[in-house]
Amino acid sequence: MVSNSFSPLPGTLVQQAVTDTASGIGSGNIPSGSRYAEGFVRTAAIVETRDGTTPTATKGTQWDAGDLIILRSRREIVNFSAVEQTSTDASIDWQFYNRAPGK
């Protein structure tokens, strides 16, 4: 049973590979109880969207290596998609939570 405290869901640290083809987190990696996620961008810059549209290297929100991405709802988590900004593959380390902080 999921706790009401703000803490990571057990076993939900996953890595998303980001290449020149836009892709999401992957439904198999998104826990059913997740309502909030934090992603740490590794290696290289990415561009993302979270409204269901496909990002490109020049369309979407850019995040650089070392940035932290916050997804504040199940909808944002499911609709998140990212693509590398340059020709360097990147990755995002995701941690999922049962609720947003302060809720």
pLDDT band at 1; cut points 50, 70, 90: very low
What is the Cα–Cα distance from 76 to 45, expressed in whole angstroms? 20
Measured from the Cβ of residue 61, the count of other Cβ atoms closer than 10 Å reads 12
pLDDT band at 103; cut points 50, 70, 90: low
The arithmetic mean of pLDDT across residues 33-59, rounded, is 95
What is the Cα–Cα distance from 86 to 71, expressed in whole angstroms? 23
Strands (E), 1-103: 14-18, 36-42, 46-49, 61-63, 68-71, 81-84, 90-97
Summarize pLDDT for 44-53 with one digit per residue, the tens: 999 999 999 9
Q: What is the per-residue pLDDT for 4?
A: 62
Predicted model pTM = 0.89
